A and B are shown apart, each in its own frame.
Chain A
Amino acid sequence: MNMLEQRYRAVLRLLPRAYRQAWEDDMVDTFLSGVPESDDPEFAEIARPSWPEIASVVALAVRLRLDAVRSHLGGAGASPRDLVWGDAVRLIALAGLLVHSVAATLAVANMLWLNGRIPGLAPPDFAVAFGFHTGWRDLWTSGFVWIPAFVALLLGYRRVAQGLAVVAVVPALLNAVANVSALIDSSPPVAVQVSGLAAEVLLNTASVFAVLAGFHRDAPLVRRPAWWLAAYAALFAGILGVEVTSFHGGLPLDDSFIYTLPFLTAAVVCLGGHARRSASEGPPWALALAILAPVMLATQTTTVLENDLLPLGTTRSTLMALALAKIVAILLVTGPLAFLAVRSLRRRPPAPAAPAVPSGPPAAR
């Protein structure tokens, strides 16, 4: 084995072991056949696989490993246990895109209101006084791309939805990077900044990873898309109602309620539904909510730390009491959700011993 072959085999180590066992020797032969000078020992001593050849192996390795993950999320030949995991990840994707879309719709509606572009609804006095004007840049940072991503997913345009979700997460991650740079100045305590950064990254990337991993080519279409659209309308109306009530002297609100309120509502509905139905129903929801619980806790913990910076007063006390109450509520529902999820997974057979990567060609006849 000459040095060039050794170097190429080193690159092939990026591939999963099972795949290498099936294909490596043939790949090596194909590669070396394409390099006529490889028989020259002097050439082989210094030659290396070209970057495009290495890139093609890297791309193959990424695809195979993604396929392996997807095969455990309800892909072809998945076990009953894997089907639950797949359904749960798709629910996380849908729920994440739903809440992000509602938040983006509210941000866009707020922008239109400040600009006096909502017929029959006058802009607030301060917006008129300061001549508020918002443009495309503000629209981009509002995260409006989540809305077409959510709609595309409901309509079954899987690839479009995945592309849009990746685009949608960009402004949020840029914002997170800006927060990292603010860490250097460190006007708020570092703990608040770090917690906020972690919550922001978790909230935004969890749904994107779930969309990419869960909606593979073997994944079923979204069940009951009309139901999800109704949930979008209901959530938008509900949050708008709560915000308007708060604006007119109701309970003060923190930023995280837009995530934690739907989470707690879904958890209560899931647990309530489980109490009425047989134990075998609803495990994907329980699993999805149990996975999301740490994300909700991170978000709510950030809120508590931020509230702690507010000047002492009634508003601070109310916000702090509400934030702590939500943390307790999240912890209270997480235990039963996790118990339900684990129990239902244990009752289902685990993944079969099917290979996660393509086997080699069958023997010649």
Chain B
Amino acid sequence: MTEPAFFILTALVGAPCHGYGIVAEVRELSQGRVHLKVGTLYGVLDRLVADGLVGLDREEIQQGRLRRYYRLTEQGADALAAEVARQTANADVASRRLRALRAASAGGSA
């Protein structure tokens, strides 16, 4: 799963969101690191919709323009949970190695 897809799914956890809401949420979740451009957002969103991970919640008219709200599907929640488990396992392995390295360095320098 790519980083933009991961953050888009995370942004939709809990509440449906419209396009710009997702952009703003992703920026906040990533602490300003991931700033999705509109073309990038929809390039990921269309695939998530096609794969059934994201669905349409509702459509509204805002200032004369169509606004769609997207929601996370059950399949999307499962995919996100699997990705979180994978990343957590990876992070655990790396953390253990780093702790061991630091312990060894501290022991060597003592």
Chain B residues in 8 Å Cβ range of A186: none
CA distance A364 to B56 in the complex (A): 5
- A26-B67, A29-B62, A33-B20 known; A363+B56 contact, CB < 8 A: yes
Q: Which stretch from A53-61, A270-278, A339-347 is at the chain B interface?
A: A53-61
Residues of B within 8 A of A361 (CB): 49, 54-56, 68, 70
Complex interface: chain A residues within 8 A of B49 (CB): 358, 360-362
The proximity string for B residues 11-37 relative to A, scoring 1 for CB distances below 8 Å and 0 otherwise, is 000000011100100000000000001
For the complex, is B40 an interface residue (Cβ under 8 Å from A)?
yes
Contact among B40, B62, B66 for A60, CB-based, below 8 A? B40
**CB 8 Å contact bits of A41-63 with B (1 = contact, 0 = none):** 00000000000110111111001
Q: Beta-carbon contacts of A18-37 to B below 8 Å, as 1s and 0s?
A: 01000101111111111000
| Bound Cα distance from A55 to B20, whole angstroms | 18
Contact present for A56 and B40 (CB under 8 Å): yes
Q: Contact between B20 and A29 (Cβ–Cβ < 8 Å)?
A: yes
Q: Which residues of B contact A34 (CB under 8 A)?
A: 20, 23, 38
Contact partners of B42 in chain A: CB under 8 A: 23, 26-27, 30, 60
Q: Is the interface of A mostly helix, strand, loop or mixed?
A: helix
- Determine whether B46 belongs to the interface, using a CB cutoff of 8 Å to chain A: yes
Which residues does chain B contribute within 8 Å of A31, judged by CB atoms? 38
Query: A26-B67, A362-B55, A364-B59 are known contacts. Are A33 and B40 too (CB-CB below 8 A)?
Result: no
Q: Shortest beta-carbon distance, B18 to chain A, in Å? A: 7
- 0/1 string, B38-57, CB within 8 A of A gives 1: 11111100110110001111
Q: Name the B residues within 8 Å of A60 (CB-CB).
A: 39-40, 42-43
Q: Is the CB of B41 within 8 A of A57?
A: no
Task: List the A residue with the shortest CB-CB distance to B62.
Answer: A29
Q: Is residue B58 within 8 Å, beta carbon to beta carbon, of the partner chain? A: yes
Q: Are B38 and A30 in contact (CB under 8 A)?
A: yes
Residues of chain B within 8 A of A32, CB atoms compared: 65
**When the two chains form their complex, are residues A358 and B46 in contact, meaning their CB atoms are under 8 A apart?**
yes
Chain A residue, CB-CB nearest to B56:
A361
Choose one: B39, B62, B63, B65; the contact of A57 (CB below 8 Å): B39
Give chain A residues whose Cβ lies under 8 Å from the Cβ of B43. 56, 59-60, 63
B47 adjacent to A30 (CB under 8 Å) = no
- A residues 1-31 near B (Cβ < 8 Å) are 19, 23, 25-31
Q: Which residue, A30, A60, A363, has most C-beta atoms of chain B within 10 A?
A: A30
Chain A nearest CB, measured from B64 CB (Å): 9
Q: How far is the CA of A248 from the CA of B39 in the complex (A)?
A: 62
B50 contacts across to A, CB distance below 8 A = 358-359
User: What is the CB-to-nearest-CB distance from A312 to chain B, in angstroms, rounded to a whole number?
Assistant: 62
Contact B23 A30 (CB under 8 A): yes
Kindly state the separation between the CA atoms of A24 and B54 in the bound complex, as whole angstroms: 18
Our pick among B20, B57, B59 for the contact of A30 (Cβ within 8 Å) is B20
Minimum CB–CB distance for B3 against chain A, Å: 15
Question: Separation in Å of the A296 CB from the closest CB of chain B?
Answer: 39
Q: Which residue of B lies closest to A57 (CB)?
A: B39
B5–chain A nearest beta-carbon distance, Å: 14
B residues bordering A, Cβ < 8 Å?
18-20, 23, 37-43, 46-47, 49-50, 54-59, 62-63, 65-68, 70
17 contacts between A and B (CB under 8 A): A25-B66, A27-B38, A29-B65, A30-B18, A30-B23, A33-B19, A34-B23, A52-B37, A58-B39, A60-B40, A361-B49, A361-B68, A362-B55, A363-B56, A364-B56, A364-B57, A364-B58
Question: Which 8 A/B pairs are nearest by Cβ-Cβ distance?
Answer: A56-B39, A30-B19, A56-B37, A33-B20, A361-B56, A358-B46, A57-B39, A25-B66
